[in-house]
Amino acid sequence: IQTRNYSFYPNYSTEKDHRNEVTGYTVNNSVIVVVRDIKLTGKVIDAALNNGANEINSLDFSASDTKAVRKVALLNAVQDARDKADIIAKGLGKRIVGIQSVSESTGYIETRRFGGNMLMAAAKDAATPIAPGSL
């Protein structure tokens, strides 16, 4: 659990004689919770809501260690590029005899965010079901 944002400020009520009177305070304590066992995500949300949390802003799913799968993906991409180059060259009656240049770039993958109101409504009556799918 990590603090993301904390704010504390007074609420004012303006009286007829233009005096500002403090009528209360607003506190916002936003935290980031990392759950390593994805099967526990729904239980963590339920526990937060049952212990005073009144808003859930988003859920983000990501892999914690992507180094090994990135290496495999690069090897597969290289083989795929070579296969495509060979097919194109064959179609032109040529063959690949060397590599002139290679570049690698990382594409942007949009993080999916899920609305907090929907999650809070689901958590009121039953355990929150979280099904992230598979990688």
Please, are residues 82 and 75 in contact by the beta-carbon 8 Å criterion?
Answer: no
Secondary structure string (H, E, C) spanning 23-54: EEEEEEEEEECCCCCHHHHHHHHHHHHHCCCC
Position 105 scores a pLDDT of 83
Token couple for 102:
């290679």
User: Is the per-residue pLDDT at 26 higher than 90?
Assistant: yes
Position 58 scores a pLDDT of 83
Position 95 scores a pLDDT of 92
Q: Of 52 and 135, which is predicted with more confidence?
A: 52
Indicate the residue type of 100.
Q
Position 122 scores a pLDDT of 54
Position 14 scores a pLDDT of 77
Task: Provide the pLDDT confidence category of residue 82 given band limits of 50, 70 and 90.
Answer: very high
Q: Report the distance separating Cα 42 and Cα 80, nearest Å.
A: 39
Q: Report the distance separating Cα 128 and Cα 53, nearest Å.
A: 14
Burial class for 24, CB neighbours closer than 10 Å (0-12, 13-18, 19+)? exposed
Q: Of 49 and 16, which is predicted with more confidence?
A: 49
